[in-house]
Chain A
Amino acid sequence: MTCTEFLALLDELIDGTVGAETRKQLEEHLGGCAHCTVTLNTTRKTIEVYRSNELYELPKSVRDRLHQAILARCKNGC
């Protein structure tokens, strides 16, 4: 397996949707390729860091104001 072939399957490996046979080939490639190992680990970390940090908070005061505005219009039949 080449690095390009590995990369084409990177998402499926991360998302856990590869079959057993393909997974074995991917793992064999990883065993001998430091570049792809780094790419896999740091891509996983990228996803994790975005998933665990909320970038755009919606403060309670803004939420309340939006809810009131929406509901007021819903009650009037929009």
Chain B
Amino acid sequence: MSRIGTSLLTAVALLAATPALAGEGRAWASGTFNPAKTETAENRTFTEFAEQGTLEVEYAFDGGPGGEIGVEYRLRSGLGLQLAASFGTRDGAASYTAAFPHPLYLNRDRAASGETSGLSLTETAIHFDLVYGKRGPKWEIVGFAGASFFNVEADILDRPQYTHAYPYDTVSVLAPVTLSRSGSKVGFNAGLAVDYRLSKSFGLGVQGRFSGATVELEATDEGTVELDAGGFAVGAGLRLYF
């Protein structure tokens, strides 16, 4: 089972076990939106025709929707612990510049460039935080910070395939091909949540969470793509108190 699968199962188990603990707590489910654009670039090298070629790619993933669920267990004096799981998706595009070695001559690369869209990025994360809250009869404000475990699955560009014919001075690049790659990394998060109680057990809330980690995705050639996971996500949703 993958690391993210194991982590999610652990989160589920913790969530399920939480009500068995003594004391108060709350759980939530929110829809979120991460407005920040994620941009990254990579430089890859590869060997072709006994010479080194290069591929430079710039990726841009737009902000996108997501969701989060979590549970908080209150300890004392406003302090508590919380565990949350979040996910988010983004659509993206990439532009590339490649230098393909010439098959017949040294140091006479054939240049190619292009763009492709329709890339996707999916990010899941488990957040484990220390919480400090101020609670009133109706309103509740909670600040939190802690560690995050990210798993990112994203489309990255494979080395463009091309056709060429004698005298091989130019290449005709075929449709860019994408590869789905995933990677994980531990990072951090911090944020603020404000709840409004509708009843003893239910309420509504908004939250903002800033999280971050740099995840490395392995490319097919000698190179990696470094993606900034997380960002600032805002959300709103239901609250359940116990």
Partners in one complex: no
Interface residues of B (CB under 8 A from A): none
